[in-house]
Structure 1
Amino acid sequence: MKRRFHKYFPWLFVLGDLLVLALGLSVTALLFSYFINYPEINLALYGYFLLFWLLISVGRKDYKIGRTTEVGFTLKQLPESLIWLLGLLSIFWVPTQEHPLGIFFLIGVAVISVMFLGLFRVGVHLALKQYRIQGKNYRNAIILGKSGVSNKLSQVFKQRRDFGINFLGFYDDLDNRSINVRGGLPQFFEEAKDLDLDLIYISESLDAKFIKKVMDYADDKYIKVKVIPNGNLQLEKNLSFSKYGEFFVINVNDIPLDNMMNRVFKRVFDVIFSLFVVIFILSWMIPLVGILIKWESKGPIFFIQERNGVNNEVFRCLKFRSMTPNDYADTKQATKNDPRVTKIGAFLRSTSLDEMPQFLNVLIGDMSIVGPRPHTIPMNQTFQLQVEKYNSRHKIKPGITGLAQVKGYRGEIENLRQIRSRVRLDSFYIQNWTIWMDINICIRTIIELVYNRESAY
């Protein structure tokens, strides 16, 4: 339930917001038509309204409803966003209208919409709070290091059940016998795997090496870390803050794609791009390539292999089959002049056309257009023991292409230096993602495919 809610709520919230705005526009149009015989509005106005509103709301972070976001934030943002909307429509829509009351119609829409949207957004806040009070959509959390501040924070978790924080207790070396203290700090690493943790709160007063060890563990297990500050925090990562009642904590391993609207933008880009490829390319490529594969060797058209995706969840990755069926496909990488590779397979691999069916993986949500390349499960099991922070590449969906690939890291992984370089580039991408970076990588991928095929075999 925790993951499913997190996945679908952002889309439902944005869709609901747009539907309520459209309702406000329709009600205003009916009232103006009834009382002053205002002309019927066309669909273009709906398009202007919804597009501008979406851009404004995203830009002003109106859709940010975190666990600690108070309803006052939404109510404050709403009228300001509507003023921005009125300004844009006054520039782009009012001058095109022949009716002299066009500006008053917009004001009417704003007045009615502020009521409708206000009720909707407050309702969403209250519904979320009640949902969490009932013990749903919760996050499991522990606190490392017991102090006056961390003890008060634990009381906030208990009193504000609407935050949805299921506090499991403390780990502390100096006070490991009190109520809610599960044990000493070393015991945390022994028990953590059984706690299904989502959040780790750690006192800044603890030893810096211990804090780093916790952060490395959390990155490996996809757990969010929040530091309870004492004013002397010195960390290399970008920091953001969360407020729990009167207490501030510092988020130390957030990434851009933790933001709801960033995920929406990336998913919209993925769906539009993959739909275009599926309709206009794969619709004829799959039958054509399928005939050639079947003509050269017996076996299926597709090679389907289980790989690790986001949060290490297993998915079935699609490729055109480029080898004769063999028992080593999951454990042995393709090498130069590999005898398992068929003639048509060699062409597909050199041009990376064997990866094209993965646009279907993107469409159904297992992959993204851009992201860290998914490796086989045996490779992941090996590399995570040999490469520091290897598992952090699974914080986001795997991609058909990625920053490492456009930097020349394609094809066979010959040594640890290469995989370390890939992980470093994947980590940079994850920490610094923007939609423009995705577009840039897509363009550079096409250039790379045309001018550099040496590593693909």
Structure 2
Amino acid sequence: MDYRRGRYAGFIKPLFLMVDLVLLNVTVAFFPTNITNTFIFGVYISCLWVILSLRTGFYEVQRQSKIIQILPVLFKQIILFAFVLYAFIGVFKQPDISRFALGIYFLTVSFLILVFKFFTFYLLKKYRSILSGNISQVIVIGKNYKTRQLIKTFKTRSDFGYRFMAQFSVSDPDFSLQKCFDYVLNNNIDEIYFAVSELSNKQINQLVDFADNNLRELKFIPDNKDIFSKRLRYEYYEYTPILSIRTIPLKEPINKFLKRLFDILFASFIIIFVLSWLTPILAILITLESKGPVFFKQSRNGFNNKVFACYKFRSMMPNKEAHLNQATKGDLRITKTGKWLRKTSIDELPQFFNVLFGDMSVVGPRPHMVSHTNMYAKRIDKFMVRHFVKPGITGLAQISGFRGEIETDKDIIGRVKYDIFYIENWSLLLDIKIIIKTFMNAIKGEEKAY
């Protein structure tokens, strides 16, 4: 059987929405909530669920989406729905409603929607990969490293639901856009991908006109070898189209609130249950080996490049160069206790106080000394992008092999790339994943932890 994309694809999102609305309205009947008018309640939660889903993009799950991208959207939708649900009591003056029963209803319906969300997500993937359903037929115009990567994805990830049909090389002597257009029409191609760096503005305009006039989706592959950003946002200011080169999830109020709440809870846990007993022990070990303070304070650049005092357990002999020169392999300034502290990253634990004070986050780009920030800002392209968010005790760059001493510009460039990826793709799940990997690395010990 030939499953065509256009036959059913347009019904998928409305169908999922209808199922969720049925779950919201039917499930409430199984709980003694004492709602006086179930019809008004049903209209209220249905309308606001639709509004919230439009705001959060709850049903905008793409075929190439990952679980790590779906979870934050799901979590955001559920949290906002909780506020809306309990607001019903005050808005419609329902003092007799059982808060407990309403809470059980909320947990039950949230669980059911979560199960349905992931069940349908995996079901669609199996539908595409096994039955070849919901398939989009695609062609690629251009021939370079990025187009090769894309074609490989089309061929290996059948669950994405793309069928690669043909590639057209602009450098071929007989290349013409008309040949591409004929192929698209004769082979029922759904989507056209093209390398923007290989076509002229005139050719791009011709492609756009053809796609618009023939109801084909057109997607471009940017040549961003010098641009680390991959999250472009298109929006309108009145009637003027604006393309933003970078989107930062942590600028969203709900994301900012969730990250700050997580930071406070996690930092408080570490301070109460770890630092409360570990600090006196380390204080004895540090002071027995060398005279000086237990804690080391250093000026570093944080959010919006603001300078703050970053705290660590002292791991070096007191010296005047501590604020200027980074620790190197075999550094004679490092004490025996300090070597162990740095190897296990325990010297960083006092920074949980920085998290509690609001200067840092548990996860984020690692802050640099002020002197290094000034140096790298002049030398390394996009280095300052790291300061769009709060610095972290650990980060994606650190668990990806870019921690410790910066020996060459390649090290700092790699760190910047990972930091920018983190900034543009932040999620609470990603933070948790980084924390777990950091803990595992601390147990194993890292080569550049010195």
The alignment's TM-score, normalised by the length of structure 1, stands at: 0.50
Per the TM alignment, residue 251 of structure 1 is displaced from its structure 2 partner at its CA by 3.4
Q: Distance in 2 between matches of 1:389 and 1:249?
A: 21
- In 1: Cα distance, 2:291 partner to 2:98 partner: 69
**In the TM superposition, what are the counterparts of 1:30-429 in structure 2 within 5 Å?**
61=55, 85=85, 237-240=230-233, 244=237, 249-429=242-422
CA distance in 2, matches of 1:354, 1:254: 34
The alignment's C-alpha RMSD in Å is 3.8
Letter in structure 2 aligned against 1:302? F
* 8 A Cα contact 1:57 1:81, kept in partner: no
Partner of 2:425: 432
Q: Shift of the alpha carbon at 1:102?
A: 6.4
Question: Letter of the aligned partner of 2:413 in structure 1?
Answer: R
Residue aligning to 1:27: none
Does structure 2 conserve the Cα–Cα contact (< 8 Å) formed by 1:256 and 1:432? yes
Helix, strand or coil: the match of 1:346? Answer: helix
Offset at residue 346 of structure 1 (A): 1.2
Q: Secondary structure at the match of 2:356?
A: helix
Alpha-carbon distance in structure 2 between the residues aligned to 1:271 and 1:310: 17
3-state SS, counterpart of residue 440 of structure 2: helix
In the superposition, relative to structure 1, how do residues 320 and 84 fare at CA in structure 2: closer, same or farther (>3 Å)?
A: closer
- 1:204-239 residue CA offsets vs partner (Å, 9 max, x unmatched): xxxx9xxxxxxxxxxxxxxxxxxxxxxx99977434
In 2: Cα distance, 1:396 partner to 1:362 partner: 13
SS of the residue corresponding to residue 388 of structure 1 reads coil
1:43 corresponds in structure 2 to none
Contact 1:403 1:426 in 2 (8 A): yes
| C-alpha contact 2:233 2:246 (8 A) present in aligned 1 | no
For residues 60 and 318 of structure 1, do their structure 2 counterparts lie closer, same or farther at Cα, with a shift above 3 Å needed?
A: farther
Q: Is the 8 A contact 1:56 1:84 kept in 2?
A: no
1:453 counterpart residue number: 446
The C-alpha deviation readout for 1:269-322, integer Å capped at 9, x for no partner, is 111110000000111112211122112111111110000001100000000011
Change in CA separation of 1:244 and 1:445 when aligned onto 2, cut-off 3 Å? same
Q: Amino acid of the residue matched to residue 448 of structure 1?
A: N
Counterpart residue number, 2:176: none
How many pairs are equivalent?
A: 257
**AA at the equivalent of 1:404:** A
In structure 2, runs of 5+ residues without a counterpart are 1-33, 37-47, 57-76, 90-95, 103-199, 201-218, 225-229
The alpha-carbon distance between structure 1 residues 406 and 233, as it changes in their structure 2 partners (threshold 3 A), is: closer
Q: Which runs of 5+ in 1 are unaligned?
A: 1-31, 37-53, 63-76, 90-98, 107-207, 209-231
| Structure 1: distance between partners of 2:296 and 2:386 | 24
Instruction: Give SS of 1:405's match.
Output: helix
**CA distance in 1 between partners of 2:370 and 2:85 (Å):** 49
Q: Which amino acid aligns with 1:339?
A: L
Identity, % of aligned positions: 46
Distance 1:81 1:349 in 2: 44
Aligned-residue offset at 1:332: 1.2
Alpha-carbon contact 1:56-1:85 (below 8 Å) kept: no
Q: Deviations over 1:336-363 (max 9, x none)?
A: 2211111111111111110000010011
Distance (Å, rounded) in 1 between the aligned partners of 2:392 and 2:83 = 39
Distance 2:49 2:439 in 1: 30
Paired residue secondary structure (2:410): helix
Report the CA distance between 1:418 and its aligned residue. 0.8
> Any idea what SS the aligned residue of 2:310 has?
strand
What is the Cα deviation at residue 242 of structure 1?
5.2
Do the aligned partners of residues 301 and 58 (structure 1) sit closer, same or farther apart at CA in structure 2, a change above 3 Å counting?
A: farther
Q: How does 1:20-35 map to 2 (within 5 A)?
A: none
* Amino acid in the other structure paired with 1:396: V
CA separation in 2, counterparts of 1:243 and 1:249?
6
